Structure 1
Amino acid sequence: MPLSEPALVPVAAHQRVDGRARIEFSAGGGRTRLADLYQRAPCRALFPDVDAGEPVQAVLLTTSGGLTGGDRLQAEFAVGAQARATLTTQAAEKIYRALVDAEPARIDAQVAVGAGGYAEYLAQETILFDGARLRRRFDADLAPGARLLALESLVFGRAAMGERYAHGFVHDAWRIRRGGRLIFADALHLDGLHLDGDIAAVRAAPFGFGDATACATLIYAADDAPALLEPVRARLTANEADAIAHATTRECLLIVRLLAADAAHLRRTVIHAAETVRSLAMGFPPRLPQVWYC
């Protein structure tokens, strides 16, 4: 009896995460309170106690242990008129190697701040493993008189583990609007498929990052932002020897760019820069949320 052809077994699609968190704070009775909360796995939000005088705080974490191709995280952070609040992350986000033909992992952050409100979006590092594919976007919509302090970082491989980010895809975009008008647009785009497959070589070019393996952008958007330029420059110049940190300003923006050959050095400089800006702008103690020091 002839053998029949084996039946074809369908290959299951790879399981992907699609997490979302929405956190809204409003002001009332001289206090800022949680007004709305929605969370979908793997996104979770924690609300630790804070020291007197500090803004209320939300700590965002993901239970998936990292992202790869096709995964998606979305965070929406709304701070109402006259409210003050901080959104930070529990730890660094890891982006693992993806299939070459996979959709990039997506991280979308949306921040809205009402008139007279103050918001901090302080994300810890995003670490790119070799072959990682990431599309990240930060969008902020500020009412007139609102203030925002925002921070994002990228680490191109864990150098201490002998890793380097040489292949993959990164598109990292910023958009900030104030009173409905676009005041800041920026993007970093690295595509290994169109760079002879070697992102590391392009990053090392004189027009790229040189020997830097990590970078960060810190932005303070407020009416008083230009007045902070010289004090911030003076403190960064006096304290940073292991990283490159430059500050500039335009309209109501203070923009600080940071580069370092070592991710640990970048982290120390980022912490110092963010501590400096929030202290000068708001009179807070020169510290970040406690999760940054754990």
Structure 2
Amino acid sequence: MLLAEPALLPPVSAHQRVDGATRIEFSAAGGKTRLADLYQRAPCRVLFPNIDSDEPVQAVLLTTSGGLTGGDRLQTDIVANAGACATLTSQAAEKIYRALPGDDPARIDVRIAAGAGACVEYLAQETILFEGARLRRQLDADLAPGARLLATESLVLGRRAMGESLRSGFVHDAWRIRRGGRLIFADALHLDGDIAALRAAPFGFGTATACATLIYVADDAPTLLAPVRARLGEADLPPIAHATTREHLLILRLLADDAAALRRALIDAAGIVRSLATGLPQRLPKVWYC
């Protein structure tokens, strides 16, 4: 049971800023997963849509603020107790607007805890960064041995169709995944200052305007590399879509010149992985198709 209310943090801006929080816990009993506890603080909200009979319990996370800017903060805590299986997704793309001079970056923290035999899908839709945006985002997962996690995050560096491009700002996007208390994956994307130059560098993004990471963590993750690569080769994905593996991890990276192309590719890739890994349908929650 989640008892402690997430604390409000001290203000970091002279302007009004949001400090939203969600804590959601699932437990398994009688072979079914049920909501055990829920806390939400504006602008964070959770919806529980009707789902098909072959899908796990589903929660849709949303913010009512219409986007974030410098100094805004969102915290999401997800707990799946032993044997519970749940899918969490976002209602729509998150938008990060220009930060005012002197404001701290917008901060998004997601923490996932999964007990033995639990299965969590965290399928976040894309985050769109506007010119001058400042974002610090981190996903921390703490998994018991035998737990499974499928997680996605993606970034759009300006909407090309609208003539927008992220040329300056700040982005720090980090992952930390632990299994049995041991750190097994640590990764971060860091862009600061002249982002246009960093994107154009030989080690940068090339012509890509959107990127995504998909992580599957489970005992059988390495065995899925060959079939996932084969299925990716059959799918109509962007030129840069690669999969690799290491202990308990399957990692997919996607880059695309167009945000819509990346979204289609991520839907295909995540569907492929979830069907091979868990036997679930090769589709994502319905909000992805709205």
Band the TM-score falls in, shorter-chain normalisation: over 0.9
Q: Residues 243 and 103 of structure 1: is their aligned pair in 2 closer, same or farther, counting only changes over 3 Å? A: same
Q: Aligned ranges for residues 222-241 of structure 1 at < 5 Å?
A: 222-241=218-237
1:286 CA drift (Å): 0.6
1:24 partner amino acid = E
Q: Is the 2:54–2:281 contact (alpha carbons within 8 Å) kept by the matching residues of 1?
A: no
Within the alignment, does 1:22 sit opposite 2:23 as a pair?
yes
1:239 CA drift (Å): 1.3
Q: Is the 1:70–1:103 contact (alpha carbons within 8 Å) kept by the matching residues of 2?
A: yes
Of 276, 280, 286, the match for 2:276: 280
Cα offsets for 1:247-273 (capped at 9, x unmatched): 000000000000001000000110000
Q: Residues 180 and 241 of structure 1: is their aligned pair in 2 closer, same or farther, counting only changes over 3 Å? A: closer
Partner of 1:158: 159
Cα offsets for 1:182-227 (capped at 9, x unmatched): 00000011111xxxxx211211212011111000000000000011
Q: Residues 241 and 153 of structure 1: is their aligned pair in 2 closer, same or farther, counting only changes over 3 Å? A: closer
| RMSD over aligned Cα atoms | 0.9
2:285 partner amino acid = P
Q: Is the 2:122–2:152 contact (alpha carbons within 8 Å) kept by the matching residues of 1?
A: yes
Q: Is the 1:82–1:116 contact (alpha carbons within 8 Å) kept by the matching residues of 2?
A: yes
Distance 1:243 1:31 in 2: 41
1:99 CA drift (Å): 1.4
Partner of 1:168: 169
Of 231, 238, 242, the match for 1:246: 242
Distance 1:69 1:273 in 2: 32
Greater Cα shift, 96-105 or 55-64: 96-105
Partner of 1:115: 116
SS at match of 1:106: strand
Structure 2, unpaired ranges of 5+: 1-12
Q: Aligned ranges for residues 193-232 of structure 1 at < 5 Å?
A: 198-232=194-228
Distance 1:168 1:58 in 2: 32
Q: Is the 2:117–2:146 contact (alpha carbons within 8 Å) kept by the matching residues of 1?
A: yes
Of 254, 259, 263, the match for 1:267: 263
Distance 2:196 2:266 in 1: 23
1:241 CA drift (Å): 4.5
SS at match of 1:111: strand
1:242 CA drift (Å): 3.2
Distance 1:209 1:179 in 2: 35
The runs of at least 4 aligned residues of structure 1 exceeding 2 Å deviation read 240-243
SS at match of 1:22: strand
Distance 1:80 1:211 in 2: 43
Q: Residues 122 and 241 of structure 1: is their aligned pair in 2 closer, same or farther, counting only changes over 3 Å? A: closer
Partner of 1:31: 32
1:243 CA drift (Å): 4.0
Cα offsets for 1:6-45 (capped at 9, x unmatched): xxxxxx9200000000010000011100000000000000
Cα offsets for 1:66-92 (capped at 9, x unmatched): 000000000011111011001100000
Distance 2:55 2:83 in 1: 14
Partner of 1:63: 64
1:184 partner amino acid = F
SS at match of 1:291: helix
SS at match of 1:242: coil
Distance 2:123 2:101 in 1: 31
Q: Aligned ranges for residues 78-157 of structure 1 at < 5 Å?
A: 78-157=79-158
